[in-house]
């Protein structure tokens, strides 16, 4: 009996090690003999904290050889290719290698259980006989990835079959101990500088044309066993047309130290020359492909690089609530599906075993608009608009910081595009021909509560004929005296009417843009509520004042007197 207790104690120690982070043990359903191991014994193995409804396939890689009558434990029988160098300390790489073999040749071992994309409240449980098991977890719909998990069901010193639950959040106990059984990769994009927050909506970052906006991208990196087949780590970042990407501004920092960038800008390396990432300018943005293994340190821990760069707001910036976005896509591999992506020039969007996460930041630009009017009015008494007036847009009330010069159009409107949140000042620089300069300075606020509205009208023009245009044409009404009438208008009294058919139909859509104060749900154009007036230049006065007449007469008299004196003086000279 003592010998048997020692065997049971040894098996318990062994299988607790194999369980690797088993957090709770429970006795299973005992077979024929409550105190002796037998082939009918069963216990529940469980994996907890699984998210994303992945597919989970459970394989048995070791079974128990029982004695005569299928009673009493003799030894473990390991499946071919599923052995460990030291069963007391199975490493992450060994577990991963066994899982890779099962994925590559699933017919080698028939799964004892498969859960397919179903919600089981994050806990996967299966009743099993004594032995060792590997769970292969793939296809989580939330992008989580899982390294294979080893589970066991074994006997305690009382001859009871026990098993327990393992959390997918735990790390492996041997080998690469920093490698987690599951990871939740993600990516975060931030704006670090170059924007003005709109005080009317503090979630809105605003910019003006010419502003330089600084961005930071931080990925959450999964941990893989060193022999994982797919360690794809790829960053793709694109800026919209309103932002100009500055490729020279791209930096990569690892563990607080900026990597060295090559002269051509296409590689980032440690100080010893080890290349960590390759880069390429792509469209209005960049691709970065990292060598995952160059980020691993210690017992499987991995550095999360930080990427920074800048974009400049250009003349293509979109005004209003659509904004100017900047999106990053982070591609990462499922450790045992597919292979590591190596081509920096193309995104691994459709690559096997590659997942992705996205994030984006948007900056917004506003525009200022105002109306210029004159003294003349229309039939309704409204001042007529004035074209050709030139205005300066300033950032300060003293009008020393000029940011734009605009001219009113034929409708009297002028628009200064792509400004950020703030108060601006409008001052007339050149008046229209025949008008005096308005020297008043007007203040206008650009914020999220102003916008441009567009109205659209659709008009359909139809013509009708009494001649049936085709054999299957349908009557659409009646015609009498070249006038079309609907069926309802005729109402059954068809005397003197002819059947009407559709001869042609033309639909015209027109749209008009109106600058209005916005109720607050979008941002866009700030409209100066009052028109900026001009007065006509004063004419030279002819009556009612001294004007210029007296000066004209006096000047003529002086000229006549001078001429008379000249001729008198000349005559005297000749007489002498």
Rounded to whole angstroms, the Cα distance separating 479 from 471 reads 19
What was the pLDDT predicted at 120? 56
Residue-level pLDDT at 267? 97
**pLDDT, tens only, 403-446:** 999 999 888 888 887 688 888 999 999 988 888 888 888 888 88
Instruction: Assess contact for 212 and 311: CB atoms under 8 A.
Output: yes
pLDDT, tens only, 329-375:
999 999 988 999 999 999 999 899 999 999 999 998 888 888 888 88
Token pair listed for 486: 């609907």
Q: Does residue 376 sit in helix, strand or coil? A: strand
pLDDT value, residue 383: 86
For residue 178, what pLDDT is reported?
A: 63
d(CA 129, CA 339): 35
Q: What is the pLDDT of residues 243-283, one digit of tens each?
A: 999 999 999 999 999 999 999 999 999 999 999 999 999 99
SS3 (DSSP) at 100? helix
CATH (residue range 186-364): 2.60.40.740
Average pLDDT of every residue of the chain: 81
Evaluate if residue 522 carries a pLDDT over 90: no
Residue tagged 């000066």 (tokens): 551
End-to-end CA distance of the chain: 170
Q: Is the pLDDT of residue 159 over 60?
A: yes
Q: What pTM was computed for the model?
A: 0.71
464 by DSSP, 3-state: which? strand
Mean local confidence (pLDDT), 529-545: 57
Question: Do 109 and 59 touch, CB atoms closer than 8 A?
Answer: yes
Q: Are 327 and 358 in contact (CB under 8 A)?
A: yes
Instruction: Report, at the CATH architecture level, how domain 379-446+525-533 is classified.
Output: Sandwich (2.60)
pLDDT in tens, 218-241: 999 999 998 999 999 999 999 999
**pLDDT attached to residue 265:** 94
Return phi, psi of residue 433, to 5°. -55, 130
CB 428 within 8 A of CB 373: no
Q: 161: buried, middle or exposed (CB in 10 Å: 19+, 13-18, 0-12)?
A: buried
- In the chain, ranges of CATH 2.60.40.10 domains: 379-446+525-533
Token readout for 507 is 């639909």
User: How many H helices and E strands in the chain?
Assistant: 4, 40
Would you place residue 162 in the very low, low, confident or very high pLDDT band (cuts 50, 70, 90)?
confident
CATH 2.60.40.740 residue spans of the chain? 186-364
Supply the pLDDT for residue 481: 83
Residue 497 has pLDDT above 70, yes or no: yes
């Amino acid at each position: 009996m003592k010998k048997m207790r020692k065997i049971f104690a040894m098996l318990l120690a062994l299988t607790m090690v194999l369980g690797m982070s088993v957090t709770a043990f429970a006795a299973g359903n005992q077979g024929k003999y409550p105190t002796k191991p037998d082939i009918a014994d069963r216990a529940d193995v469980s994996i907890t904290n699984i998210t994303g409804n992945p597919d989970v396939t459970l394989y048995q890689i070791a079974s128990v050889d029982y004695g005569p009558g299928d009673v009493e434990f003799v030894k473990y029988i390991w499946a071919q290719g599923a052995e460990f160098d030291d069963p007391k300390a199975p490493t992450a790489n060994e577990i991963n290698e066994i899982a890779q073999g099962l994925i590559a040749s699933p017919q080698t071992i028939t799964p004892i259980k498969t859960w397919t994309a179903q919600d089981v409240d994050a806990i996967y449980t299966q009743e099993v006989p004594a032995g060792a098991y590997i769970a292969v977890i793939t296809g989580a719909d939330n992008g989580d990835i899982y390294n294979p998990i080893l589970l066991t069901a074994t006997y305690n010193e009382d001859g009871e079959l026990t098993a327990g639950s393992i959390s997918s959040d735990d790390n492996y106990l041997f080998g690469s101990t920093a490698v987690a059984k599951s990871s939740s990769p993600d990516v975060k994009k931030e704006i670090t500088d170059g924007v003005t927050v709109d005080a009317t909506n503090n979630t809105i970052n605003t910019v003006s044309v010419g502003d330089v906006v600084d961005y930071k991208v931080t990925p959450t990196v999964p941990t893989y066993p060193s022999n994982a087949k797919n360690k794809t780590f790829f960053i793709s970042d694109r800026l919209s047309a309103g932002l100009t990407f500055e490729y020279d501004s791209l930096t990569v920092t690892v563990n607080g130290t900026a990597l060295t960038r090559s002269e051509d800008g296409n590689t980032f390396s440690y100080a010893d020359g080890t290349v960590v990432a390759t880069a390429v300018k792509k469209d209005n943005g960049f691709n970065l492909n990292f060598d995952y293994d160059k980020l691993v340190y210690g017992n499987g821990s991995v550095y999360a690089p930080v990427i920074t760069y800048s974009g400049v707001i250009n003349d293509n910036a979109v005004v209003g609530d659509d904004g100017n976005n900047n999106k990053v896509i982070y591609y990462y591999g499922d450790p045992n599906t597919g292979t590591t992506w190596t081509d920096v020039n193309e995104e691994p969007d459709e690559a096997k075993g590659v997942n992705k996460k996205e994030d984006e930041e948007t900056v917004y630009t506003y525009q200022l608009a105002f109306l210029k009017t004159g003294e003349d009015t229309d039939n309704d008494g409204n001042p007529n608009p004035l074209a050709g007036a030139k205005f300066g847009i300033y950032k300060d009330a003293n009008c020393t910081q000029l940011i734009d010069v605009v001219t009113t159009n034929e409708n009297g409107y002028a628009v200064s595009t792509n400004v950020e949140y703030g108060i601006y000042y409008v001052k007339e620089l050149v008046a229209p021909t025949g008008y005096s300069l308005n020297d008043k300075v007007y203040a206008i606020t650009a914020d999220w509560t102003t916008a441009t509205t567009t109205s659209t009208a659709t008009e359909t023009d139809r013509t009708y004929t009494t001649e049936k245009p085709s054999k299957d044409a349908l009557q659409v009404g009646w015609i009498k005296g070249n006038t079309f009438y609907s069926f309802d208008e005729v109402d059954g009294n068809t005397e003197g009417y002819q059947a009407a058919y559709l001869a042609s139909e033309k639909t015209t859509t027109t749209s008009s843009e109106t600058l209005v104060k916005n109720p607050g749900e979008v941002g866009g154009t700030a409209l100066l509520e009052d028109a900026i007036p001009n007065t006509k230049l004063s004419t030279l006065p002819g009556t009612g004042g001294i004007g210029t007449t007296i000066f004209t007469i006096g000047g003529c008299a002086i000229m006549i007197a001078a001429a008379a004196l000249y001729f008198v003086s000349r005559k005297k000279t000749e007489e002498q």
